[in-house]
Amino acid sequence: MSTSLQTPIDYLKGVGPSRADLLRKELGIHTYQDLLNLFPNRYLDRTKYFKINQLQANNAEVQIIGKIIKFEEVAQKKGKRLVATFKDDTGVMELVWFRGQKWIRDALKLNTEYVVFGKTNYFNGKFSIPHPDTELLSEHEQNLRSSMQAIYPSTEKLSNRGISNRVMTKIMQNLFLETKGRFAETLSPKLLSELKLITKSEALFNIHFPKNSDLLFKAKYRLKFEELFYIQLQLILKNLIHKSKIKGFPFETVGAHFNTFFKQHLPFELTNAQKRVLKEIRADLGSNAQMNRLLQGDVGSGKTIVALMSMLMALDNGFQACLMAPTEILSVQHYNGLYELCKDLNINIKLLTGSSKTSERKKIHEALENGELDILIGTHAVLEDKVKFKNLGLAVIDEQHRFGVEQRSKLWKKNTSPPHVLVMTATPIPRTLAMSVYGDLDISIIDELPPGRKAIKTVHRYDTNRLKVLRFIRDEIQKGRQAYIVYPLIQESANMDYKDLMDGYESIARDFPMPDYQISIVHGQMKPADKEYEMQRFVKGETNIMVATTVIEVGVNVPNASVMIIESAERFGLSQLHQLRGRVGRGAEQSFCILMTSHKLSENSKTRIQTMVNTNDGFEIAEVDLRLRGPGDIMGTQQSGILNLRIADIVKDNDILQHARYHAKKILTSDPSLQAPEHAVILETYRQMAKYKNIWNYIS
């Protein structure tokens, strides 16, 4: 009978109860399957042996053959360390253990040939290797091995308890001996031949014990493809099931509200991208399935108009709509913008936020329940249990990454049937990440700016050029324009940042004295009402300069502001810089963004600044950001566990990801329930994954 991969790890030769316990706690290895999927971090060339007189003081990993000629225990601040004198025919060095001395002393023999392996240290003219891997030369020559040795992930606790890389390799060998290295195939014969992939068994053997670098490459490709293929299969299936099971309200008519607005009140001609996206949304709303669409578009690309026209379709079909934004400032701005657009349309539209008065709330609650209220705009306040709709047909959620999944489901519960959902974001999500994280949403992209908008000019200036920059601001104010000057805000050093901001404010006030110039200041420690007052002065043009911390990042719209100065730009992330830059360039005039930095810049900072100067394309910026920061950071902490990949890397393996998604889609298009005989293997693997939860770890 073949060994089941679900066998607990305790039963594998060389493991035993205490090691099994450690492997479970430290590496999450419960079964044979988990061990098999513990892929190496890297590989070492173990064909090369050094002599002691060839060692260099470079902390490299080396392999040496020699004998231990003596042991001694040396006292140190805490306890003792065990030191062995190790000798070959060219010299002597030391092997050092800080823990597990007794066990090591009993295990190693004097004057016997060993192969030792580890990282060298050089101190006081002497080489040493702390906690080396040691193996009898006689055993070393017999082992199942390849020229490239796998190095496995480890933890301090594992090495302290004697589970070295050599022990892990030995345990892995036992697994292959016990299973005879035969593993069930998980991809269909058609995929294997079409993509010229090696079999599952060959791939697993060569990932752990590569015969040569060519086979290692093929093994990695095959396993990465498989991992990404099943994630994509899972996401696409989720989308298909969602569409077949969760019925939406079909919006059958495009009626008076939509048409009147489109023909008579549209403030500007829609771009082709906006028209394309509206068409995609209309198709969703007209089908019987619930819409679940992500709308991406750079700052200023006109997402709000698309959202409004989608809401008008809901109204035309007798439903209500709501728009949720993450902050009060942003929801007030949406309200003002939409109120202005709808004022001639006979539409009842209201705003609900944390600071709405109780009497006002009561009216809103009543009007929502009896259906008098058409569109509700608000913050999280919209999710409170008291807020009940008569018939919510469409929910628009702005800046999705600030709302969790459970908050979206709260909206659903306000209805007998879930409303259509349109999620908007101005944070361009790299296509790679969007495919993996939002793969179950349909994605629309507005990728062109409205006509008449000029691209923002971005330049990098060092602090030493400050006088020229100030002169430039004066010239722009002379032309009747306004400027932002933004200081970084980093939570841990709020006091220091506040001081930076105040110092900056004082020196700006000296350079731009009253009464010729008026300055607004906005920062996180102000009361909301004071903040709003200062913002409004700037919006109305009563002040020329707005000095602020990043509170102005999202949603401030002042078409007359044409200059954005970002102080200490090296302290900002790329997406933040891009969001801040999007605060200017909202009018017809040429706008400028000036990135101020000191001369001391890390490589990453240089790349970020250079990227900003080179491109205005949010998607290009997001791709660079993804390369610099990795997927976990970009999605924010609450979603960083989002892609727990075992072997693939969605940044580096973007091509494989595209490939995997293409093939998963192709298979599900022709055979949505995977019933065809040729897909039997895929269906079985998918069921096993669902059964043992292996795939669900990947997707938040």
d(CA 368, CA 361): 10
The answer to whether 90 and 144 are in contact (CB under 8 A) is no
479 & 595 share domain:
yes
Which two three-digit tokens encode residue 630? 């990795």
| Within a domain: 314 | yes
d(CA 537, CA 264): 32
Give all strands of the β-sheet with 442-446 in edge-to-edge order: 349-352, 375-378, 320-324, 392-398, 420-425, 292-297, 442-446
Considering only residues 526 and 53, tell me which one the structure prediction assigns the higher pLDDT.
53
d(CA 437, CA 427): 14
416 & 554 share domain:
no
CA geometry: angle at 580 spanning 576 and 585, to 5°? 145
Read off the pLDDT of residues 337-384 as tens digits, 9 standing for 90 and up: 899 888 888 899 999 988 888 899 899 999 999 999 999 998 877 877
| Within a domain: 67 | yes
Which residue, 376, 406, 425, sits at the end of a domain? 425
Where do the H-state alpha helices sit in 440-493? 466-478
Residue 398 sits at φ, ψ, to 5 deg, of -95, 140
Residue ranges making up the domain that contains 660: 195-245+649-691
User: Per this entry, what is the length of the chain?
Assistant: 700
535 & 599 share domain:
yes
Residue 139's CB: how many other CB atoms inside 10 A? 11
Q: E strands along 298-455, which residues?
A: 320-324, 349-352, 375-378, 392-398, 420-425, 442-446
Which residue, 401, 425, 449, sits at the end of a domain? 425
The answer to whether 153 and 38 are in contact (CB under 8 A) is yes
414 & 401 share domain:
yes
476 & 334 share domain:
no
d(CA 452, CA 465): 32
d(CA 297, CA 270): 14
pLDDT at position 633 over 60 = no
| Within a domain: 633 | no
pLDDT at 298: 75
Between strands 519-522 and 545-548, the pairing is parallel
Share of the chain above pLDDT 70, in %: 89
The answer to whether 129 and 120 are in contact (CB under 8 A) is yes
Where do the H-state alpha helices sit in 161-271? 165-179, 189-195, 200-208, 213-245, 256-260
pLDDT at 407: 61
Residue at token pair 């419960």: 30
DSSP 191: H
Query: CB neighbours of 587 closer than 8 A, spacing ≥ 6?
Result: 559, 560, 561, 562
Supply the CATH number for residue 167's domain.
1.10.150
Question: What's the distance, Cα to Cα, between the start and end of the chain in Å?
Answer: 37
Read off the pLDDT of residues 660-671 as tens digits, 9 standing for 90 and up: 999 999 999 999
Question: How many alpha carbons lie under 13 Å from residue 467 in its C-beta half-sphere?
Answer: 1
Read off the pLDDT of residues 137-182 as tens digits, 9 standing for 90 and up: 888 777 655 668 898 988 888 888 888 888 899 999 999 999 998 9
355 & 216 share domain:
no
140 & 155 share domain:
no
38 & 51 share domain:
no
Is 423 strand, coil or helix? strand
461 & 594 share domain:
yes
Which residue, 425, 442, 471, sits at the end of a domain? 425
CA geometry: angle at 537 spanning 536 and 543, to 5°? 145
| Within a domain: 158 | yes
From the list 659, 653, 579, 592, the residue with the least C-alpha distance to 621 is 579
600 & 660 share domain:
no
Q: How far is CA 617 from CA 331, 401, 576, in A?
A: 26, 20, 14
The answer to whether 577 and 595 are in contact (CB under 8 A) is yes
Question: pLDDT tier at 330 (50, 70, 90 boundaries)?
Answer: confident
| Within a domain: 684 | yes
From the list 320, 312, 323, the residue with the least C-alpha distance to 263 is 312
Which two three-digit tokens encode residue 283? 């198709």
Mean pLDDT of 498-527: 84
Residue 363's CB: how many other CB atoms inside 10 A? 14
d(CA 475, CA 635): 40
pLDDT at position 36 over 80 = yes
d(CA 65, CA 51): 8
d(CA 372, CA 51): 87
* Helix axis angle, 528-539 to 328-342, nearest 10°: 40
pLDDT at 432: 66
Read off the pLDDT of residues 74-101 as tens digits, 9 standing for 90 and up: 888 888 889 999 999 999 999 999 887 8
Residue 263 sits at φ, ψ, to 5 deg, of -85, -35
d(CA 83, CA 101): 9
Q: How far is CA 329 from CA 258, 333, 514, in A?
A: 27, 6, 28
Q: Which of 123-127, 379-383, 438-442, 456-460 has the lowest mean pLDDT?
A: 438-442
| Within a domain: 240 | yes
Supply the CATH number for residue 604's domain.
3.40.50.300
Query: CB neighbours of 359 closer than 8 A, spacing ≥ 6?
Result: none
Query: CB neighbours of 161 closer than 8 A, spacing ≥ 6?
Result: 22, 100
Considering only residues 72 and 588, tell me which one the structure prediction assigns the higher pLDDT.
72
125 & 235 share domain:
no
pLDDT at position 222 over 60 = yes
Residue at token pair 């920059």: 469
| Within a domain: 431 | no
The answer to whether 71 and 105 are in contact (CB under 8 A) is yes
Structural domains in the chain (count): 5
pLDDT at 699: 36
d(CA 69, CA 227): 50
122 & 92 share domain:
yes
| Within a domain: 221 | yes
d(CA 488, CA 415): 43
Residue 593 sits at φ, ψ, to 5 deg, of -125, 125
d(CA 266, CA 260): 9
The string of DSSP codes covering 341-368 is HHTTTT--EEEE-TT--HHHHHHHHHHH
pLDDT at 437: 65
d(CA 199, CA 623): 33
d(CA 462, CA 469): 10
Read off the pLDDT of residues 264-283 as tens digits, 9 standing for 90 and up: 888 888 889 999 999 999 99
pLDDT at position 290 over 80 = yes
Mean pLDDT of 685-700: 60
Query: Which pTM was predicted?
Result: 0.66
pLDDT at position 118 over 70 = yes
Mean pLDDT, all residues of the chain: 84
Chain-centre distance for alpha carbon 201:
32
